[in-house]
Structure 1
Amino acid sequence: MSEFYIIGIDQSTQGTKAILFDDHGKIVHRHDERHKQYISELGWVSHDAEEIYHNVIRACKGVIAESGIDQKKIRCMGISNQRETTLAWNRETQKPYAKAVVWQCNRAESVCREIAKTCNPDKDIYDVTGIRLTPYYPASKMAWLQKNVSGLKEDTKDGTAMLGTIDSWLIFRLTHGKSFYTDYSNASRVQLMNLRTLQWDEKLCDIFHVPESALPEIVDSDANFGETDLEGCLEHKIPILGVLGDSHAALFGHNCRREGDIKATYGTGSSVMLNTGRRAVKSRNELTTSLAWKVKGEADYVLEGNINYTGAVFNWLKDDVKLISSTREIEALAMQANPEDRTYLIPAFSGLGAPWWADHASAALIGMTRNTGRNEIVKAGCDSIAYQINDVISAMRQDTGLDIPELCVDGGPTRNKLLMQEQSDFSNVRVKIPNTEELSAMGAACLAGMNAGLYDHSVYDAVTYQCYESQMDSETRTKKIEGWKKAVERVIGRI
């Protein structure tokens, strides 16, 4: 019987999970709640922040009731949240002014165009924040909300309105309005925080027309964010002792806490995140520089590269070109492909992300011959995921001078053994797959537990790994990667 329990919240783009962890860091039970995706005719993506908050409460009530544990043993909670999704709410009523603008929504594109005319985006924004000027970050979304939501601009000036991301919204509501905080991992993604001072930057706030007074206070990721009884679900109040953006929480959950540690999340797209320790590395490849976290008063930094199409390639093979009826077929078909075939799929269905940054690029199959068939195209799709991840890893090695011998991975596509072996081969790394898929919730719970003095480093002993070692010689690796790069350069118009 566990002596205590910790709740880890994973609030993601698609839904919310509440997960109970025991005194050894093992998962006891999980409860999921989905929320609605609002997509307008213009393709704008929104979430109902009220629904998300109530789903957090429902998920917590569900996981406690279904697990049958003694709720008095719940000591604290940690929160992992979808990053960059932005909203405004009223300080007094605690209600949102409008639906939250989701991270992937580009409705603030016009705002970015106007801002680019009034400043030098590279010098005034990228050099200060580590983030390129795009509509996907909160600063431009906050400017858009003030411009388009009736009464909001006036309310932000007089202190009635509050602007923030999902973490600060949940903290505010869970503590009944007593805490208005954001942690450093989330703040560093807003595009208003100065990476040198680690505070909101007055000039940036002026550029984006965001009053600093409307923003949450930035605190350490292991701060005490306040107490909650989960709307009466608990007979006692518990402290919120850890908050991290989802990718940062997964990095912490993987125990990637040293300089040179790296993880890749394989989802619809992919996030590759490298811990650069105490140094904020400016990328020559326009990768994003952010804070991993600030824990015990010490800030660690990360380089991150985001890729548009990785796991979504499998969906394209199944749903669009219908070469497979199930993603489970991919591995067997790809292994039957002609090893001499040199077909490359460049999955630029919505341009290419890091490190190519080719928004104009279109998807293409390069190098097909009369003998290229179903198996070869399926394998080219699988290869394209490993090649793209490797492109980011190579850029990170170039930017930092770090060797990067190991890669921790998570996400559904990691179940594909061929893909994992290819990743090891192409990147010349040991690939490590954990025995749990709940890395974000685990990271948040571990941080909270360590802050409470309930966990130490041994909590990571609960995670075991399946490993893949590179089996490819350097000559073959170089030949394959050079072929991929030439194919990409043809697609983006460089050759």
Structure 2
Amino acid sequence: MSKKYVLALDQGTTSSRAILFDHAGQPVGIAQHPFRQIYPKPGWVEHDPREIASSQLGVITEVLVSSGVSPEEIDSIGITNQRETTVVWNRETGAPIANAIVWQCRRTTDIVEEVCARPGVRELIQAKTGLIPDAYFSASKIKWLLDHVPGAREAAEAGKLAFGTVDTWLIWQLTGGAVHATDVTNASRTMLFNIHTGEWDEELLELFDVPASLLPEVRPSSGDFGITACAAVPAGIPIRGVAGDQQAVLFGQCCFDPGRAKNTYGTGCFMLLHTGHTAVESQNGLVTTVAASAPGADGLEYALEGSVFVAGAVVQWLRDELGIIQNAAESEDLANSVPDSAGVVVVPAFTGLGAPYWDSEARGAIFGLTRGANRAHIARAALESMAYQVADVAATMERESGHAIDQLNVDGGASANGFLMQFQADILNAQLNRPKVLESTGLGAAFLAGLSTGFWEGTTELRAMRERDDHFRPAMIEAEREEKLANWHAAVSRVMIHE
């Protein structure tokens, strides 16, 4: 095989990475470069699109040089990216009209509230997009740029501007402006895409006053996005896979079928459950999103997505605020040094509670302290709090989708904590699968690209690579599990602000 590698571009919120994967799905080279975070005002977050592009193009060259791989050995490129972040640029010059508005930015909250003030609009948006109307998504960001950058709206109406999430911006750069496209997963996070019809929605475009001429073509996640044709990288490499970061993880974790779920333990948690061709509408604050599909899928596939606000952040809190550990790894040793939490329960509602509670006024608390409680009990309870929150999201997903989660594929920094993984398996009463290759995001983008070209034959071949996973199997008796969950839910009820 002359083509030996797939190149994954993992464009994140704080850095751009390039990862070379071989046919066994193993990373053989990684390059990473951070870029600036720009905070013009409180609550505003921006990136310079040119810095995103230059950092991403730069690491392509770096990973090829450092690994000694020639461009002729690259089968294809897959792209995964921070979602919702919004770039608008001039089609003729290729220059951005302003900095990118990042997914975290809250400046457009008033726009969303204004749009949703009319009766029935909020429900309409959720029904069409699967999203809970929020400044988080791209629609209000586009409107803000068109309304606040001088001449932008006139240029947009004249068809001179292009919008894209970060994947689209990178495709434009890599193809020398020849391709203006996105994939279905990124489109589904804009709040302008109808996830049932698979098309941009005229009614939503009208609500947010966004001209259709701005929008990229929407293509399948595993398919043709052009070939490289820019001076900064080798020419002629096909771009054949694109997915937003969380959907890329779902695919990289081989969750191809209904009922398969993954959880990423970062600062917070992102949990996704594949629901097949059924777009499940949540009544409990989960969002419905489009999942990435292998080539040949018969129509769109979907996932339910839920977020836990505070996961790895609770370990940072133990270290930085309480000072009871020196590093994250120490939390596992401390937790294992005691047989249980001695009745201590930590509810890390530092910024409120997410799904399924949605109480932004709730605040964190430690319950069950006695004279004998020590730092080991608090550390153990803090780790357990992550597992309880994930269990709450999982229970909501099971209830709403009708799928029982008997296995959970895990990744992210805190998944390295063996105590947490075993406790999570116990409290979910499900098997946890932790891959040996922790680069699930980049691997998902690589899989999508390599399936499109035939570098990998199909999903059966990809599943076979998972035989080396670590497995954590539940060992807790039902009565103990129910008692622990009851204590957790009692603690949660005490931090919530009741009407």
Q: Same fold (TM over 0.5)?
A: yes
* 1:165-244 aligned within 5 A: 165-229=165-229, 231-234=231-234, 236-244=235-243
Contact 1:57 1:230 in 2 (8 A): no
For residue 336 of structure 1, report the CA deviation from its aligned partner: 2.8
Read off the aligned partner of 2:455 and give its amino acid letter: L
Q: Which residue number corresponds to residue 487 of structure 2? A: 483
CA–CA separation in structure 2 for the residues paired with 1:381 and 1:116: 38
The answer to which of 79-88 and 364-373 deviates more is: 364-373
Structure 1 contact 77–241 (Cα < 8 Å) conserved:
yes
What displacement does 1:297 show?
A: 4.7
Q: Distance in 1 between matches of 2:134 and 2:406?
A: 32
Q: Distance in 2 between matches of 1:155 and 1:370?
A: 68
> Aligned partners of 2:141, 2:360: CA distance in 1, in Å?
20
Report whether the alignment pairs 1:284 with 2:283.
yes
CA RMSD of aligned residues (A): 1.6
Q: Is the 8 A contact 2:57 2:232 kept in 1?
A: no
User: What are the residue-to-residue correspondences of 1:63-102 with 2, within 5 Å?
Assistant: 63-102=63-102
CA offsets per residue over residues 107-153 of structure 1, 9 Å max, x none? 11111221121342442111111110111111111122222222222
Task: Tell me which residue corresponds to 2:244.
Answer: 245
Indicate if the aligned counterparts of 1:3 and 1:23 stay in contact, CA closer than 8 A: no
Between the aligned partners of 1:61 and 1:107, the Cα distance in structure 2 is 36
**CA-to-partner distance for each residue in 1:30-69, whole Å, 9 max, x for gaps?**
1111111112341311111111111111111001111112
Question: Any runs of at least 4 consecutive aligned residues in structure 1 with deviations exceeding 4 A, and if so which?
Answer: none
> What is the one-letter code of the residue matched to 1:174?
L
Q: Alpha-carbon deviations, 1:281-340, whole Å to 9, x = none?
A: 111212110110244253110000011110111111111121111111101212234636
Report Cα offsets for 1:368-390 as digits up to 9, x if no partner: 23332211211111011101111
Distance in 1 (CA, whole Å) between partners of 2:310 and 2:157 is 40
Contact residue 406 and residue 431 of structure 1 kept, 8 A: yes
Hey, what's the Cα distance between the residues in 2 that align with 1:373 and 1:399?
39
How far the C-alpha of 1:221 sits from its partner, in A, is 1.0
**Counterpart amino acid of residue 431 in structure 1:** L
| Aligned match of 1:385 | 386
1:471 corresponding residue in structure 2: 475
Unmatched tracts of structure 2, length 5 or more:
none
* CA distance in structure 1 between the aligned counterparts of 2:113 and 2:268, rounded to whole angstroms: 26
- 1:25·1:460 contact (CA, 8 Å) conserved in 2? no
Alignment of 1:49-128 (within 5 A): 49-128=49-128
Aligned to 2:326: 325
**Residues 430 and 34 (structure 1), Cα distance of their counterparts in 2 relative to 1, 3 Å cut:** same
User: 1:458 — aligned with what?
Assistant: 461
Match of 1:272? 271
Q: Could you tell me how far apart the structure 2 residues matched to 1:318 and 1:27 are?
A: 31
Q: CA deviation at 1:17?
A: 1.2
TM-score (norm 2): 0.96
| Equivalence map 1:289-308=2 (5 Å) | 289-294=288-293, 295-298=295-298, 299-308=300-309
- Where in structure 1 are there 5+ consecutive unaligned residues? none
- Partner SS, residue 470 of structure 1: coil
CA distance in 1, matches of 2:232, 2:361: 52
- Counterpart secondary structure, 1:31: strand
The answer to whether the 8 Å contact 2:26/2:437 transfers is: no
Instruction: Compute the displacement of 1:70 (Å).
Output: 2.7
Q: Distance in 1 between matches of 2:93 and 2:494?
A: 55
Normalising by the residue count of structure 1, what TM-score does the alignment of the two structures yield? Answer: 0.96
1:363 aligns with 2:367: no
| Cα gap change, 1:424 to 1:121, in 2 (>3 Å) | farther
* Contact 2:341 2:380 survives alignment (8 Å): no
With over 3 angstroms needed to count, the CA separation of the structure-2 counterparts of 1:5 and 1:229, relative to structure 1, is farther
- SS of aligned partner of 1:8: strand
Alignment-mate amino acid for residue 398 of structure 2? R
Does the CA-based 8 Å contact 2:242-2:445 persist in structure 1?
Answer: yes
Q: Distance in 1 between matches of 2:479 and 2:289?
A: 35
Matched with 1:432 is: 433
1:350 corresponds in structure 2 to 351
